[in-house]
Copies of this chain bind each other. A is one copy, B any other.
Amino acid sequence: MNALHFSRVVIVGVGLIGGSLALSLKRAGVVGTVVGVGRTAASLEKAVRLGVIDEAATSLADAARGASLIVLCAPVAQNFALLHALEPHLEPGTIVTDAGSTKSDVIMAAKTALGDKVAQFVPAHPIAGRELNGVEAALNDLYLGKKVVLCPLQENSRTDVAAVRAMWESAGADCHVMSAVQHDAVFASVSHLPHVLAYALVAQVANAEDGPLKLDFAGGGFRDFTRIAASSPEMWRDICVANKDALLREIDTYEAVLGYLKTQIKAGDGDALERVFKRASDTRLKWGAARANALHNVEP
């Protein structure tokens, strides 16, 4: 047996993220039994059939009995209700963690719902995803070479934080520690804001009188810019509401940058436009090269 071993792992929400974690832990050989918790029996049966989980549970209370680790992978707006339902059944030796895209809100929910037991909750966010959703899309190498952000609480024990870190590392991920405030500012900027901007552009084209003609002539630039506008509306609704403060700050700054460009376009000031475009273009080219390099080093 490995030095790292979780005898009973409970995955709450067995979709792409939760299902991929289950498969990754199995592949790494660090888990005994994986129990899936979900809203419908049908989807859990499918997860059992696909070999993603070993057992299905519709009650969190049943699932929590004897659990070494409980991982919340449901849409972030459900976390408070889930933690509230879990609290009376949460045993002293169990670690709870999550995989949500926002952190300040889940910490607030955990502090309220768990009380003193919040010490057992280690907030985390794996930076991974796919175009596809649902347990059928789960992969045992989804987290290989990906980043995971841990936002430990002052209340957490070193051992619990180390166990969550080791779990993600066994899935092939690299862990980074950040405060929840810093995490939410970073992802508001490079993830949540771009999603809002892409949704806004597609909504604008869809609502235009000549929308169909415009879509007919949209090319590869539009395709890539708007790819994330095909993402789950429910998931992104929840993220926007959960990370409201940081996102609003980023939107304010964005409006200022766009307003500046608009002023220069109105004035026909090509030099001013070119300076901003060049700063962006240099940054993007450098980022792309660094990223290609990093991904290359990860390839098996």
| A interface residues, Cβ below 8 angstroms from B | 77, 127-129, 147, 149, 176, 182, 185-187, 189-191, 193-208, 210, 213-215, 217-234, 236-238, 240-241, 244, 247-248, 250-251, 253-255, 257-259, 261-262, 265-266, 268, 270, 273-274, 276-281, 283-285, 287-288, 291
Once A198-B225, A214-B186, A233-B274 are accepted as A-B contacts, the answer to whether A204 and B129 lie under 8 Å apart by CB is: no
28 contacts between A and B (CB under 8 A): A129-B220, A186-B214, A189-B205, A190-B219, A191-B218, A197-B225, A199-B261, A201-B254, A202-B279, A203-B276, A203-B279, A204-B257, A221-B228, A223-B288, A229-B280, A229-B283, A230-B285, A231-B281, A233-B281, A234-B274, A241-B268, A241-B270, A244-B265, A244-B266, A244-B268, A247-B265, A248-B266, A255-B255
Per the bound structure, the CA–CA distance linking A198 and B190 in Å amounts to 12
Inter-chain contact B218/A287, CB cutoff 8 Å: yes
Known: A189-B214, A248-B266, A254-B258. 18 other contacts (CB 8 A): A77-B270, A186-B214, A190-B219, A197-B201, A199-B261, A199-B276, A199-B281, A200-B276, A200-B280, A202-B280, A203-B283, A204-B254, A205-B283, A224-B225, A225-B228, A226-B284, A227-B284, A237-B277
Copies of this protein in the assembly total 2
Inter-chain contact A222/B191, CB cutoff 8 Å: yes
Please give me the residue from chain B that is nearest to A250 by CB atom.
B204
By a CB distance below 8 angstroms, the chain B residues around A279 are 202-203, 206-207
Inter-chain contact A203/B257, CB cutoff 8 Å: yes
Please give me the residue from chain B that is nearest to A219 by CB atom.
B127
Inter-chain contact B186/A258, CB cutoff 8 Å: no
Would you give the shortest CB distance from A189 to chain B, in whole angstroms?
A: 5
Q: Contact partner of A194 among B196, B221, B266, CB < 8 A?
A: B221
Per the bound structure, the CA–CA distance linking A245 and B270 in Å amounts to 15
Per the bound structure, the CA–CA distance linking A206 and B257 in Å amounts to 12
A-B interface, 5 closest residue pairs, ranked by CB to CB distance from nearest: A233-B277, A202-B280, A190-B218, A206-B283, A233-B278
Would you give the shortest CB distance from A296 to chain B, in whole angstroms?
A: 15
